[in-house]
Structure 1
């Protein structure tokens, strides 16, 4: 695929997604205070961040907040009380800014973990004071924003890589494996003799991405092999990346080379899933 054609594909594919994310980034700093008959909140309990995205009655972003947290490990809640506390604090912070109570929320889990952890996620959201109205897997949530008809959505989070394969807009296969941003940080910590937290901060600075690529290539190749393993039995033509770890510049090029599949990502992959969760929020309590 030529560079020009690829850029045109990216621009067309992510038009709605990138606009929605830009609107969301704006309201994180400056919430929209117009009155809405109802507010829909997406709660994304990530391994590295907890993100709350608030939409109005027309499903447009009005407010948002996020906080670094380590309450989830490999897609599972490991600090139940800490998770409730952070979600409750972020909820209260947004309620103060908007001057209203946030009632309805949706949440998501890595694919394939429903039987293991759906109760814990539900209880965290309810424990923070929300009425939970939907619980779905993360790549499906992301597709509410991406609007992909065919291909593989790959959500590279802090602890796991989740994959959803879509055909005619329907999810036909999901999988989740433990490799993600945490593993990237561990490799950096080892290579640079840093603490894990220092490595995590170093990884987030865009200025360091070019230098880090050779160090992180083996882990990115591991992610690529996970994608190849789960897509080989399906007619997947393209891969779409979301999740905070995909903010790493150039990650899509290595994955495309290793999988042999054209690989695309939106401008800011970190907020796609929380916005998708919010878009799936309703007023019908589970």
Structure 2
């Protein structure tokens, strides 16, 4: 298992179990926080000064849709509650946080997401686009990062460690749920529960495969202008299906790498901002 996968597994256990890494194991320096305001999930991640996971929490929510805050007060209250929960676990205040947006989000919407973080009593450290945050954790220098979220599919192309192009398309996990709900003639909520049920994965994926194919075509069409990209790193909750990476390969003809805990890659990468060595 790679060191990145080990880090992701450790962070996943911290989130699911509601535990923290004991303070004697933290690297010296100030704790850093990432606030991921996703369409389906809000995730707060905490890392130490050397970017090792320390704590995290998540909450199912609909306060943000496709990078747009649709319930500002609800978003602020949710982030504030999650912040207080982690502060109680850690036994100290959390002061600064970064956040992220899908590529191509209008500046006014990006500003609103930053305001949510500040209104939840954080000092805003950074706003980064989601695939770039994922690339930060994955250490991608050359290639593409595809972040398949609840509302959008975002793509960043990197060359020599620099982001040279980004793109975002409003197709994500929510669209999978809508297709499943229509095919099964059930409510959106029941379809979402079925989509997340690992025991039903094979049957569910056979129904939502057209959405995965659309995502594959989106990525293939965008990367047609970047023939030097030979590796795609795919992250985000909507790519959690076992066969999703194979679909991406079939459309792009390129190598596809999917890390463990793909939902948690971007939240952890958001927290890994440069804190300037501040204590």
User: When the two structures are superposed, what TM-score results if normalisation uses the length of structure 2?
Assistant: 0.93
- Residue of structure 2 aligned with 1:96, choices 77, 82, 88: 88
1:107 aligns with 2:95: no
1:61 aligns with 2:59: no
Greater Cα shift, 62-71 or 146-155: 146-155
- Residue of structure 1 aligned with 2:177, choices 169, 178, 185: 185
- 3-state SS of the aligned residue for 1:159? coil
- 3-state SS of the aligned residue for 2:270? helix
In the alignment of these two chains, the number of paired residues is 272
Contact 1:149 / 1:166 at 8 angstroms: preserved in 2? yes
Correspondence list, 1:143-158, <5 A: 143-158=135-150
* Structure 1: gaps spanning 5 or more residues: 1-10
Where does residue 256 of structure 1 map in the other structure? 249
Rounded to whole Å, the distance in 1 between the matches of 2:190 and 2:46 is 31
Rounded to whole Å, the distance in 1 between the matches of 2:10 and 2:114 is 28
Where does residue 12 of structure 2 map in the other structure? 25
Task: Point out 4+ residue stretches in structure 1 off by more than 4 angstroms.
Answer: none
Where does residue 39 of structure 1 map in the other structure? 31
User: When the two structures are superposed, what TM-score results if normalisation uses the length of structure 1?
Assistant: 0.91
Rounded to whole Å, the distance in 1 between the matches of 2:71 and 2:97 is 20
Where does residue 6 of structure 1 map in the other structure? none
Where does residue 197 of structure 1 map in the other structure? 189
Rounded to whole Å, the distance in 2 between the matches of 1:258 and 1:228 is 6
Correspondence list, 1:1-286, <5 A: 15-28=2-15, 29=17, 30-34=19-23, 37-235=29-227, 236-280=229-273, 282=275
Rounded to whole Å, the distance in 2 between the matches of 1:194 and 1:284 is 52
Contact 1:49 / 1:68 at 8 angstroms: preserved in 2? yes
Residue 281 of structure 1 and its aligned partner are, at CA, apart by 5.2
Residue 213 of structure 1 and its aligned partner are, at CA, apart by 2.2
